[in-house]
Structure formats: C-alpha cells, structure tokens
Amino acid sequence: MSSTIIKNMIKGLDAELAAVHKQGGSSQVELRGGKSKGKVGDGFLYAFTLTDQVYLRDDAPIEITVEGERVGGRMVSERDGIVTLISEKGLGSRLPSVHLKADNSILPQQLRDRLSEIITGDSYFNSVLADKVIGHDRPRVSEFSYSPSPDALRMPSDEQKRAIELALGTDVCYLCGAQGTGKTTTVARVIHQLYRKGHSVLLVSDTNFAVDTALEKVFKLLRNEQDFGLGAVVRYGPIVKKELAKFASNVLLDNIVERLCIKRQKSKRKARYLKQLRPETAVLVLAKDLENVREEVMHLCRVMATTAHMACDKDQLDRMFDVVVIDDASTLPLPLVYFLSGLARHKVLIAGDFQQLPPIVRANNPACEEWFKKDVFRKSGVVASLKAGEYHEGLAVLHSQYKMREPISRLVSDLFYEHTPIVTDSRVRGRRRSNFPTELGAKELLYVDTSSVAPWASQRQGTRSTYNFLHALVVRNIICRLGKKGLMAKKTGRNTKIGTVTPYWAQAALISALASEKLDYHGTDIAATVYRSQHNEKDCVVVDLCDSIGVKPSRIMSAHELDADGARLLNVALSRARDVLMLVANFDYAKTEIRENSFVRRIIAAFEKDGEPLKVEDILPLGPEDWLDGLSTETGRELKMSPEASGLFNESTFYQAFKQDLMDARKGIVIFSPFFSERGIFRWTDTLRVKRETDVKVEIVTLPPYQQPAAGEETGKVLKGLEESGFTVALRSNMHEKFAMVDGRILWLGPLNILSHKDTDQVMLRLSSKAACRMMTEMQSLPERMKEVPSFANPKCGKCGGLTVWKSSAYGVHFQCFDCGHREEPK
C-alpha cells in the first residue's frame, strides 16, 4: 500500500513542480529598510519592511543581492509586514534595499527526494503509522487516565482532559477545534506527559511563529525539569516570538552546544591536552568537539521543535522520534504530513482546524488536488465522519472557545462549524470589553454598507489583486477614529488592538499607506491579507470585502461550499476579532452579483440581523474641515474647495471642482479615461493647453482607437491632435480604470469616463493624499518602471516611431505598435 501511496504523492509533487517552473520557478522581491538583529549561530539576522506582494515560505533557502554581491541565506518569517531572514554573511548594520530571490522548487523537490528514498529503502520510515494517518487503517486505541495537577497553565477543561487522554492512549490522534479552543495548550500538555514518560517528541508546524507559539507553552511546563537547558529540549531554528526569547540560552541548539563544550573543556585532562597543541591544531580539535556535541544533541534530545520544512531537509534532520506532533496540520501539503508521520516510531498527533487555511498550491490538476493539496483531515476521513455523524475512534474535538465574544463566536460557528459547533466559555462572556468607543457602535458586530456611494474596484496591473479606494478610505477613517481613542500604538511598535483583514494584498497595502499617512504611524501591521493574519488576533478587526463595481466576484466572494478555499479564508478573516468585528462591503453588489447561498451573502444577512449599521456618509468625513459635500450642493452654486479636503461629487459638481484642481496644477496631470469622445476631450482641451504652456506635464491614458465605441479615422485624428498639443498619449488595451491625479497629491476616481462623459448619474471621489497617488501609480505601473521617475508613457515604436499599445497577459506586459505591429518589450 505504501509504495502506491508514495507514487501517487510523487505525481502530485511533479504536477506542483511543473506549475512552479511554468511560473518562473522563483519569487523575487525588493526589500527595504533592513536592520541588523544580531548573529544567530553561523548566520546574521536581518529584518526588512515588506512593501510588495510575495509569498515567502519560512526556512526556504534564499539568495540575497546587495550592490551586485550575491549572498546565500534562509527565510525566517514574514509577520506584520516585516520580513526576517538569515544571511550567511554580515552585510552591515543597515541595508537601504536588497533584492531577494527564493527558489520555489527547492522544498517540493526535497520532499519528492525524501519520498523516493522511502521507495528504494534508503530511508528509515514507519509506513504503517504514516498509512494510518491518511486513513488507510484505523487507529489503535487503549485506555489512558490523565489526572491534571496545578501548573504554569490554566487547568484543562473536561473536554481538553478527554482529548489529552485520547492523544496519550492512541497511536494516531486527530485534535480538532476552532480558533481559541485551546488546541495548542492541549498539545503542550500531551508533550509534557510524553516527556515525563521518557518518550522523544518531534514538534513541527508550518511557520516559525507557530512553532514558537506551541513551544512557549511547552517551556512553561518543562522549564523546571532537571535536563532543561542541557540538550533535552531543543528549538531547532531561530526564535521569532519575543515572549520566547528569554528561553533562548537554554533551548537554541547552538547555545546548548556551546555550553556543553565549555563544560567538557573545563575538565583538567582536556585543558592540559589543548595547551600542548599548536593554536591552529587546538582550534580544529575544538571545532570537531562542537560538531560531535551538536550531533549528540540532535540525536539524543527528548523534545525537538522546528518547522515542517526544516524537518524534511535530510541535511538538517536525520533521525526518528517516538512521537511526532504536527500542529496547524491543515496548512501543510498532504505528502509533507505523510512523510513527517513516518518519522514516528509509536505515535502521531495531528492538530489543527480543517475549516481554516488550506495549503498554498500552484498546480491545478486532479493528481495535485487529491495527493498534494487535500489536507490530512479530509484525506483521512475525519471530515467525512463528522459530516455523516459517525464515530471516529481517533478524533478529539474541542468545542469551547476562550477568545471571541459571544456574537462573533456564534456568527463563525453558525457559518463554518455545522458539524463541530463552537460554545463560548462563560469566562469570555464576563470579560470586560476593550476600550472601543461606544459612540462608534455599541454592539460586537458592526457594519458599513457602501452601496450608497457606489464604490469602484479595480485590479493592480499584472495581477488579480483587487483594490477599492473608497473602501480603503472608509477603513482608514475607522482606524483613525479608533487611533485617537488610544487603540493604536504611537509612531512605531506592534499594534495589538486593531487591524484590518482583506482578501487582497493590493487593498491591504493601500489601507496601510492611507492610514499611516494620516496617523503618522510607521508600523506595518495596520492591514493584512487573510493568509498573513493567521495567528494574529486583535481586539477589533475590520474585515474589508472590497469586491465591487468594476471587477467580477472573486472565489472568496463566490464561495458557497464548506470545503471551498474561499469559505475557509472567510472563516479565518472573521475569527481574528476578540471583542469587535466590523464588516465593510458593498451590499448591493453582493446581492446582485453573487448567488444567494454564498457565504458572503449569509455573512451580510447575519450582520443585517444581529449587527449595528454605521452610515458610510458619517464615516467618510474625519471632520468638517477635511470633507467636501459635492453631492448635495445645488447645481450652479459655486463650490468652495480647500486643496486639502476630500469628498464625493456628482455630475453636477464634478466638472467645476475638477477644473479648479486642473487650474491649480503646478507639476503634472494624469488622466485615465478608457473611452474618449471629441466633445469630451474638447471640454478640457483649453484648460490643459494653458497648463501645458506653463510646463505642467499632461499624460492621457486611454483605450486604442479600435477598442473605442466609435472606432474609425476620427478617433485616430483626435489622438494625433492631443499629441500635437504637447500631451503624452498612452494607449492601453482592455483597460477600464477611471481616475485622474494632479501634482501627485490630488486623486479623482470613480465610474465616470472623464474624457467622454455625458449626462449620466455618476459619483466621483476626490482624495487629497500623496500616499493615495503614490499607491495608484504603483498599481498602474510596471514595478521596474517605478524605480525611475514614475511615468505612464508607453515607449515609441523602435521601428517606425509610432504610438504603441500596452498589452497585458498572464505572461506579462509588452508593447505593440499601433501602426506597424512591431513588438517592444518593457525596459
């Protein structure tokens, strides 16, 4: 059976590797603001601010390029917008910027190699236990009695006690529970009992932060044990959680090895021997001692904690353990869970929440779906047993949760835990609510329906990452109001009280930029994508579902089946909040574009039933001095407009307000208008010519003539006339973005085509924000062109000198001449 299983898994890995290579094989990103965090073993620790979208797996090998020099290293963690990595070489105390490259094929290739070794018999492996873990045999259960005694952790509940007994009494145990049910604490108690019985334990999880979170509780139980600090308990890999740093000298492998070597060298015989040797020979002897002691500790330690991917690397770890504990197992690919399970001699504990984050997978075919992406809870039959209401002898479910307040917990339970319902512990019900201002809302569930202001959404160039400026402004203003009430850290520091979760990196980056600008806050944890919000709960969480007019509903918005990735991502987003959960969404868009039984529709219905509405018109103004009411102003009435104010405008007030901004321009004007008409352009020609004569740069981005509604010779003549007037004209195929920027500080955006608009009912947003203009420039530019002076101009045809058309596809962006068809690659 094992040989067939492994061969199927290798097929899934081959499909994943093929997808990785098809997508370029590596992830690359520019990191900025690097600071040295000291030395770790033989490496040097650095922390950078992450300002771009990239997925970097913990402990993945990386290549760092600094001023043309390439240095090897390893990823450590990415949390709260901070990337921590280890460099093989010291690169100085501060690094303004580096280029990081991670080979995405290394980890799946390592796993494939380890599985191949099992087939050829070149690797020790407990296939009987590994097969059981994925459901090819039933667990063997025996009675075990556990009597807890007072210790450093809270006394276990009755259901936690039963789970501990099952984990200690069966050879394969699945520990399931929602966010906040005490899975990690239960795992720590199981490891404590195993340690006392003399068993060796390998504890693994997906990320270094998750490893530290579990190990922190284990340490509290083991720190008074006699061998603690002498190699019995080892944290293999860097510690990333501050709360764990105080244990570093006792549990980090290099620290243990150094301490044991010093202890051995203090013996009189050893000291005399070293003195007799030449210095260079003594150094070699000491180095050999270090290597021998390191191997001893690695092979004899009783508890080892590391990431799952580090444990898969034969060069890093090459031994078996009595027990393997896999935490956050639902996030790990099936072959990795299978391989790790085979490192156990007697017992495997699988812990996690099968309704939260799934593994990140690039391939999309049946082999990969079944043998790589499917999580262990589904493959083993645990989920099927729960759905069928059948008993599973190896399953322990924790129902009582200790973090979310009752209305939040009930919402999450009703939506996502039909078969394992959540119960809020009485201690949470009596917990005092954080200092959330009641004037903003008194209930635990609050929502902002943005339908009345018709928010427009778009996607960052070259990606499917959606952003929505009006939603970002709403969220920014909520965060600012809460920040003024003391719910935000000052300037820097980790923000633990309030945060935003959104499905898209582009929206998270936009919210962070707008909020940081307004608050003068330099932290990186204001907003995060769902994947980056894992293990990152806050007192108040704003969930921004920013899909709206202008984009098709995403898989998250459309999800309607409980096993769908979108449903699991929504569950993570909603369950990050402890005290207050706020929803921002275009309800009308959801109700017209998404099927009725989708989870988003059910979420909206639940908020409308049990939540408290906040009016978007009340949220948008931070104060009377910074908001323009361009919707209720009477037609023809002069609009007094402060340059620093933001506001919403209808077709009656937009023209005079926009003209005023154009007349005030001093540096540059950018207009994105997919459609243009002769009448629409002539409306602005005189104003734009006046500004051009004063050396104000004018750029117009629009669809090529053959994609205009009135395609023909006249459209080409209009474009030629614009060029002859000194304006830069850039043609973009299939564009639909509609916005304008003035001097890099005023942004206008909405559904209105500025260069073709007729008398229709449209709402435009004016936003006074340098951060907003900078983010919009980034969203609509190629990354390599942002390094220079930002410009939306297309290159001229290298063959005939004519206008080129920007064309975007899954393989990137290129430019094609409108006249002769010659192709130009971006520079």
Question: What is the SS3 string spanning 247-310?
Answer: HHHHHEHHHHHHHHHHHHHCCHHHHHHHHHCCHHHHHHHHHHHHHHHHHHHHHHCCEEEEEHHH
429 vs 653, higher pLDDT: 653
Q: What is the pLDDT of residue 229?
A: 73
pLDDT at 710 over 90: no
Pick the CATH number of 630-793 from 2.70.98.50, 3.40.50.300, 3.30.870.10, 1.20.1250.20: 3.30.870.10
Q: What is the mean pLDDT of residues 116-129?
A: 88
Q: Which one-letter DSSP state was computed for residue 549?
A: B
Q: What is the pLDDT of residue 760?
A: 62
Q: What is the mean pLDDT of residues 46-61?
A: 83
Q: What is the pLDDT of residue 378?
A: 96
3-class DSSP state for residue 723?
helix
Q: Which residues contact 269 (CB under 8 A, 6 or more apart)?
A: none
pLDDT at 446 over 70: yes
Q: In 272-304, which positions are buried (b, 16+ CB within 10 angstroms) versus exposed (e)?
A: eebeeeeeeeeeeeeeebeeebbeebbeebbbb
Confidence of residue 254 (pLDDT cuts 50, 70, 90): confident
pLDDT at 284 over 50: no
268 vs 357, higher pLDDT: 357
Residue 322: other Cβ atoms inside 10 A: 16
- The fraction of the chain above a pLDDT of 90, given in percent, is 51
pLDDT at 280 over 50: no
Q: What is the mean pLDDT of residues 815-825?
A: 89
| Fold (topology level) of 124-401 | Rossmann fold (3.40.50)
Q: What is the mean pLDDT of residues 773-777?
A: 92
Confidence of residue 636 (pLDDT cuts 50, 70, 90): very low
Most confident listed range (139-153, 242-256, 297-311, 568-582): 568-582
Q: What is the pLDDT of residue 484?
A: 80
Do 263 and 333 form a contact (C-beta atoms < 8 A)? no
pLDDT at 635 over 60: no
CB neighbour class for 773 (10 Å; exposed up to 12, middle 13-18, buried from 19): buried
Confidence of residue 630 (pLDDT cuts 50, 70, 90): low
Q: What is the pLDDT of residue 267?
A: 57
Confidence of residue 626 (pLDDT cuts 50, 70, 90): low
Q: What is the mean pLDDT of residues 143-172?
A: 88
Most confident listed range (35-44, 229-238, 688-697): 688-697
Do 217 and 233 form a contact (C-beta atoms < 8 A)? no
pLDDT tens sequence across 787-808: 444 578 898 898 998 889 999 8
pLDDT tens sequence across 179-196: 999 999 999 999 999 999
Confidence of residue 646 (pLDDT cuts 50, 70, 90): confident
Q: What is the pLDDT of residue 709?
A: 85
Q: What is the pLDDT of residue 623?
A: 61
Map tokens 């990606």 to a residue: 463
Most confident listed range (54-58, 639-643, 721-725): 721-725
Confidence of residue 68 (pLDDT cuts 50, 70, 90): confident
pLDDT at 571 over 50: yes
| Fold (topology level) of 26-103 | Elongation Factor Tu (Ef-tu); domain 3 (2.40.30)
Q: What is the pLDDT of residue 277?
A: 44
| Mean predicted lDDT score pLDDT of the chain | 87
pLDDT at 165 over 60: yes
pLDDT tens sequence across 494-550: 677 888 999 999 999 999 888 888 877 655 678 889 988 877 889 999 999 999 998
Query: What angle in degrees, to the nearest 10, is found between the helix axes of 253-265 and 279-300?
Result: 120
pLDDT tens sequence across 365-385: 888 889 999 999 999 999 999
Pick the CATH number of 431-619 from 1.10.3130.10, 3.40.50.300, 3.90.850.10, 3.40.50.2300: 3.40.50.300
Q: What is the pLDDT of residue 639?
A: 61
Q: What is the pLDDT of residue 489?
A: 62
Long-range contacts, 690-698 (Cβ 8 Å, 24+): 690/663, 691/662, 691/663, 691/665, 692/725, 692/726, 692/727, 696/665, 696/666, 696/667, 696/668, 696/669, 697/667, 697/668, 697/669, 697/728, 698/668, 698/669, 698/671, 698/726, 698/727, 698/728
CB neighbour class for 3 (10 Å; exposed up to 12, middle 13-18, buried from 19): exposed
Q: What is the mean pLDDT of residues 748-756?
A: 89
Q: What is the pLDDT of residue 580?
A: 94
User: Are the folds of 124-401 and 431-619 the same?
Assistant: yes
627-630 and 612-614 strand pairing: unpaired
pTM, full prediction: 0.88
pLDDT at 213 over 70: yes
pLDDT tens sequence across 232-243: 899 998 898 888
Q: What is the pLDDT of residue 245?
A: 84
Domain boundaries defined on the chain: 26-103, 124-401, 431-619, 630-793
